Amino acid sequence: MKSGRRSVAVATIAGALALSVLNAPAAHAADTGITVSDIVINKGKPIVVGTSKEVRPPVTFKIALPAGYTTADPFRYTAHPFIYRGSPKTAAESADNYIGPGIYTCFETDSKHARCEGTFHIDPHPSRKQVDSNNDATTWKTAVVLRLWKADGGLKTEEYETRSQTVQLKRAAKATVNATPEPVAKGKAITVTGKLTRANWSTKTYGAYGDRTVSLQFRAKGADTFTTVKKATTSSTGALRTTITASTDGSWRWVYYGNSTTGVATSAADYVDVL
């Protein structure tokens, strides 16, 4: 068979996935014979989400079909991974505590096998209810939904298989910086201030992130890399403030390296001339 590709749209709006199943004839929960393997979500990295911007982490996987089904007829089967909390079946059919692919494309390697790639769709907008609580910043489990469809469009059988891999969902963080005075005399003090905030998924705003250790980094004029020269702890309002002796021209920035619930934050660089 000639190798090709087919794009598949997946329902990700709450209720849409459940509706397609509820409208289909009853099916027995049995082994579909479909195999989904080599799942990679967001290149194995944590997924970081803010308060308004959609995030589309990449996902890749492979499909192997059972006897009687071919990649030439993609309407006869459904197979894709998703991440969830709670029960995989309940999450997938209600779209609550569920994150899955929007559209993915499968490249046929032969009549029984395909290599698929696409993106998950995470929208922090309140109407989507995907990340509507800060408790969603945690470890999510991975599962696959597998369905076989009859020639007349009715659902033949379905199953949900869990996987051992997990995905960390994190709240986005932001950092600001201001180094003064500009310019400064050599040997005098430079005061570097800033603020660390992180996404609050409940209020859809960025709030102060206090009691966090943040690294102050410096890059000398003409250099390629930043080096950590000092560390500071944020106040209850997320404020940062420290002083350092001016020695040479260069740029200053704050870097917060994140934790299990919060992503990395790097401020812009503030350049200071040293006279």
**pLDDT tens, position by position, 134-180:** 999 999 999 999 999 998 989 999 999 999 999 999 999 999 999 99
* Same domain, yes or no: 161 and 212: no
The residue written with tokens 């059988």 in the block is: 157
For residue 126, the model assigns a pLDDT of 79
Q: Regarding beta strands 250-256 and 265-266, do their DSSP bridges make them parallel or antiparallel, or are they unpaired? A: antiparallel
Last residue of a domain, one of 155, 170, 185: 170
Q: Quickly state the pLDDT bin for 129 (edges 50, 70, 90).
A: confident
* Same domain, yes or no: 13 and 56: yes
Tally the domains of the chain.
Answer: 2
177 close to 254: Cβ distance less than 8 angstroms: yes
For residue 9, the model assigns a pLDDT of 47
For residue 20, the model assigns a pLDDT of 35
Nearest Cα residue to 70 out of 108, 116, 37? 108
SS3 136: helix
For residue 156, the model assigns a pLDDT of 94
Domain range for 34: 5-170
Summarize pLDDT for 12-59 with one digit per residue, the tens: 332 333 323 333 333 344 699 999 999 999 999 999 999 999 999 999
* Same domain, yes or no: 161 and 121: yes
The residues pairing with 108 across neighbouring beta strands, listed in sequence order, are 114
Q: Quickly state the pLDDT bin for 4 (edges 50, 70, 90).
A: low
Last residue of a domain, one of 154, 170, 186: 170
Q: How many CB atoms lie within 10 A of CB 118?
A: 23
240 close to 254: Cβ distance less than 8 angstroms: yes
The whole-model pTM stands at 0.86
* Same domain, yes or no: 177 and 162: no
Q: Quickly state the pLDDT bin for 3 (edges 50, 70, 90).
A: very low
* Same domain, yes or no: 128 and 248: no
The answer to whether residue 1 scores a pLDDT higher than 80 is no
For residue 96, the model assigns a pLDDT of 85
Summarize pLDDT for 225-244 with one digit per residue, the tens: 999 999 999 999 999 999 99
* Same domain, yes or no: 143 and 204: no
